[in-house]
Amino acid sequence: MELTEIIKPENQVYGKPRLMNDNPMHYCPGCSHGVIHKLIAEVIDDMGMEEQTIGVSPVGCAVFAYNYIDIDWVEAAHGRAPAVATALKRLNREKMIFTYQGDGDLAAIGTAETIHAVNRGENIVIVFVNNAIYGMTGGQMAPTTLVGMPSSTCPYGRDVALNGYPLKIANLLAQLEGACMVTRQSVQTAAAVRKAKKTLRKAFENSMAGKGTSVVEFVSTCSSGWKMTPDQSNKWMEAHMFPFYPLGDLKNTE
């Protein structure tokens, strides 16, 4: 007998999203990916679109999304998710198509695919997880790594003279005509999670209404890559990431 069968509805505080399967998550403690997965699963279920949704996940921590959310998935080469999503949406206009990408993927090797897909106004959702580091492959500096922020390839901190400035890719995308919504969210508090879920739903609704591309950036933590505890990571993110990557809408054409 399942636990939900013995708990009265009025006594149930929370239940696992229906579209989340039972595979144990591989993400590190405190990682933002798990919470974002949960929100995506809940929104798709709330919209009744589980049979009409296709996710595209490329290389990196993001690739394993297919292992946890029970919808159709296509795996893309590193950085190429927006190009694959473009083909999927154009060939299946009734489907709800989204990409799930990290900053090293979307803002580095995939910069061209990202910019051109958004500029064309493809009716897809781009979910962009920005933890300012290459989390899976060893904590190297990413395009989004902050000035002075250490990583395995800049152990003394990002140096502008050597490495250039962090790339605010969402700000660039907001300037493109094809973008109907570009927003930054986070999931470190209950209030932030509620707002993020509402924003994700709006993004998916935009794609089905043919309004153009919606980009939802999640300013996130990487406890392992940052060499911090989950609590320290959240505090560091609020103190350092949020001032440089401020939360809120960068563009909303509704």
Q: Which stretches of the chain drop beneath a pLDDT of 70?
A: 1-5
Domain limits for position 224: 27-131+142-252
Residue 14 lies in a domain: no
Q: Which run of H or of E encompasses 240? A: none
pLDDT of residue 77: 93
pLDDT of residue 248: 97
pLDDT of residue 45: 96
Q: How many domains does the chain have?
A: 1
Residue 10 lies in a domain: no
Residue 8 lies in a domain: no
Angle of helix 33-46 versus helix 190-208 axis, rounded to 10 = 50
Residue located via tokens 């190429």: 80
Q: Looking at residue 121, which CATH number applies to its domain? A: 3.40.50.970
Residue 18 lies in a domain: no
pLDDT of residue 137: 77
